[in-house]
Structure 1
Amino acid sequence: MNKKNLESWLNVSESVNVQMPNEIFEDLSKAEFKSFNHKCFAYAYYYLISYIYRNALYGGETDQFSQHNIINVFTSDKSAVSYITKTKGILDSINYTKATTDYPVTYYMYDGILEFGLIKELRKKLPNLEMNHSPRFCVKEPIKAMTRFDDEDYTGTFYSFQNTHKMNVEDFIRIISDKKLGHVGLYVYGYISMMCDKYNNKFQITNAQLGDLVGCSERTMKKYTQRLEELNLIATTRVFYDSKQLDKVYSII
């Protein structure tokens, strides 16, 4: 999808941004992906299903948020990444997602706590409610958004921003729709965003060191950080020691 279609599809003007768990980078690095690109896809995919679930976008034209359509935002080759998103795939196995047919159609606050109105509850009240999707339709619930610590309810990123990093949906769309960035650019941006949160928006590191942390080459890191800077998503300054240019200092704009 292009930028305009993504904004419409995700109902940007009326939706709430979501936080990403900081541990996602470590957890994805421990999983067995076929490539660095696929690891980045998993991060981007998790963000998108979290955003759609949090904003109960399934309550509209439900079928447009099928897994097929969600994956198509990132790749035209669904089969290449199915081992990541399928039932008992990588994201299920590391306890980040699970398939469910009981999806949210609305959300509300009750005693200061976010609650979701689920489709099965609605169908009990309205037994003649027509489905606007296939009988086999299911969604992926973002587990870390619901439960995060000690399997206790209301400890996920929807409820607590502790040890998380923010990803505005407008920035998500700008990055994903840019042909030079895509989901790899989003992964790099997300990591820098996390580190800038930790270091008062002044994250100092070399491209080589950042590449090692993220899992790619120095050349790849340079390519993506330069493009993020061109789009004014990040800013960098240089650190000099004895007249030699060494580290970069990253900031999120």
Structure 2
Amino acid sequence: MNEKEIKTIISYDKKATKLYMPNEIFEDLVACKEFNKDTSSHIAFAYSYTYLCTWLYRYCNFFKTEPITQERLKEIMGYTATYKNLDYIIKKNGLLEQLGYLETTTDYPLTWEIDEDKILNFQTVKTYKLEFGKIPETTSRNFKVKLPTKAFHRTNESLESQLLDGTFYDVYSTHMIPIEVFMYCMAKEDIGVIGFYLYAFIKNKNDLFQAGVDISLKEIADQTGIKATTLTTYLTRLKEFNMIDCRVKPYVFNLPQRLWEANTYNVKEHEFFGNKATPVEKRKVMSLYTYEKEYGIIDTLDNNTGNDFLQLANTIDIDDNLLPF
């Protein structure tokens, strides 16, 4: 599905672009043991599905040009309408509802407004019926949507007390992802839900580390639930489409692990994304000898033992010209 088709289905409006997602969603998804671990795409799909349902609810777009059904949501995210392997995540009482992120309801929003107290209010099918004594003619009695629970109530305690502290009302500890980023990713087969999920993860980190987040591939894999091989592929694609900037640190033979440097990542704004993939810088592999020639002599002394790592290890310096790769 191309970007133009997605825009039509979701009734895209340039004024309805921002959406804030809770930062804890990454930990909650990774901690969920019920995900099918055979494929990294399931956890990425869960994030992307939650994002889209939250956006559709926030801007009352579940039922504008057409009713956006579960089947339609799958198609937007690059799956066939009849694909069943994801249903355990999105069905009523499925994983996302068990985790407290979504809730199935027929009481979907029709319009929204900001009142005089600057509080977001929705007119739903139920409130419309209470006011006018009937349901709107353009709606369907049996049409179901997902209510984004975390957008209204961030915790079980606030849900019980009906305190509106969700992401629609308080953006503390959130990351903002514009809908344009979502549409771009879904329209690119090489990026899809996994690329979108990783972009959102890095965006979350950049909100904390605005100069760029230094993070290893292992840390990204652990904190996203994406397998290492899949992770490398999709991070490369994000770089190729100019969605992220990565300051690549060299891999150095014989360098003590305590001195290894992680790559530095920054997301880019949607307007800088590329229309097609372009070649990107590969990680350099060099010997310690060459590294010290380029960057200066490093301190190999282990502060914990007082010993020189290179004197203890069975090491050999190799000129990069002798390396077979």
Q: What is the TM-score normalised by the length of structure 1? A: 0.91
Q: RMSD value over aligned CA atoms?
A: 2.1
Residue 44 (1) aligns with residue 48 (2): yes
SS across alignment from 1:20: strand
* Equivalent residue letter for 1:177: A
Q: Hey, which of these two has a bigger chunk of helix by percent?
A: 1
Q: Shift of the alpha carbon at 1:163?
A: 0.8
For residue 221 of structure 1, what is the aligned residue in structure 2? 231
Mapped to 2, the partners of 1:102 and 1:177 lie a distance apart of 30
Q: Is the Cα–Cα contact under 8 Å of residues 16 and 54 in structure 1 kept in the other structure?
A: no
For residue 105 of structure 2, what is the aligned residue in structure 1? 100
- Between the two proteins, the alignment pairs up a number of residues equal to 252
* Equivalent residue letter for 1:247: A
For residue 2 of structure 1, what is the aligned residue in structure 2? 2
* Equivalent residue letter for 1:13: K
Of 86, 89, 93 in structure 1, the residue corresponding to residue 91 of structure 2 is 86
Mapped to 2, the partners of 1:91 and 1:52 lie a distance apart of 16
Structure 1 unpaired stretches of 5+: none
For residue 26 of structure 1, what is the aligned residue in structure 2? 27
For residue 152 of structure 2, what is the aligned residue in structure 1? 146
For residue 72 of structure 1, what is the aligned residue in structure 2? 75
For residue 250 of structure 1, what is the aligned residue in structure 2? 265
Q: Shift of the alpha carbon at 1:67?
A: 2.2
Question: Which of the pair has more CA radius of gyration?
Answer: 2
Mapped to 1, the partners of 2:83 and 2:57 lie a distance apart of 21
Give per-residue Cα distances to partners, 1:79-123, cap 9 Å, x unaligned.
211111111111111111111111110010111111111112223
Q: CA, structure 1 residues 24+128, in 2 after alignment: closer, same or farther (shift >3 Å)?
A: closer
Q: Is the Cα–Cα contact under 8 Å of residues 211 and 217 in structure 1 kept in the other structure?
A: yes
Mapped to 2, the partners of 1:104 and 1:129 lie a distance apart of 12
Q: Shift of the alpha carbon at 1:153?
A: 2.3
Mapped to 1, the partners of 2:249 and 2:164 lie a distance apart of 42
Mapped to 2, the partners of 1:183 and 1:29 lie a distance apart of 16
Q: Shift of the alpha carbon at 1:73?
A: 1.6
Mapped to 2, the partners of 1:130 and 1:19 lie a distance apart of 29
| 230-239 or 174-183, which deviates more | 230-239
* Equivalent residue letter for 1:19: Y
Mapped to 2, the partners of 1:164 and 1:34 lie a distance apart of 26
Give per-residue Cα distances to partners, 1:148-175, cap 9 Å, x unaligned.
0331422111111111111111111111
Q: CA, structure 1 residues 211+137, in 2 after alignment: closer, same or farther (shift >3 Å)?
A: same
Q: Is the Cα–Cα contact under 8 Å of residues 22 and 175 in structure 2 kept in the other structure?
A: yes
Q: Shift of the alpha carbon at 1:206?
A: 2.4
* Equivalent residue letter for 1:69: R
Q: Hey, which of these two has a bigger chunk of strand by percent?
A: 1
Q: Is the Cα–Cα contact under 8 Å of residues 21 and 167 in structure 2 kept in the other structure?
A: yes
Identity %: 30
Q: Is the Cα–Cα contact under 8 Å of residues 106 and 141 in structure 2 kept in the other structure?
A: no
Give per-residue Cα distances to partners, 1:221-251, cap 9 Å, x unaligned.
2211111112221111134598978421001
Q: Is the Cα–Cα contact under 8 Å of residues 108 and 114 in structure 1 kept in the other structure?
A: yes
For residue 109 of structure 1, what is the aligned residue in structure 2? 114
* Equivalent residue letter for 1:23: E
SS across alignment from 1:79: coil
SS across alignment from 1:135: coil
Residue 118 (1) aligns with residue 124 (2): yes
Mapped to 2, the partners of 1:121 and 1:47 lie a distance apart of 25
* Equivalent residue letter for 1:17: K
For residue 196 of structure 2, what is the aligned residue in structure 1? 186
Q: What is the TM-score normalised by the length of structure 2? A: 0.72
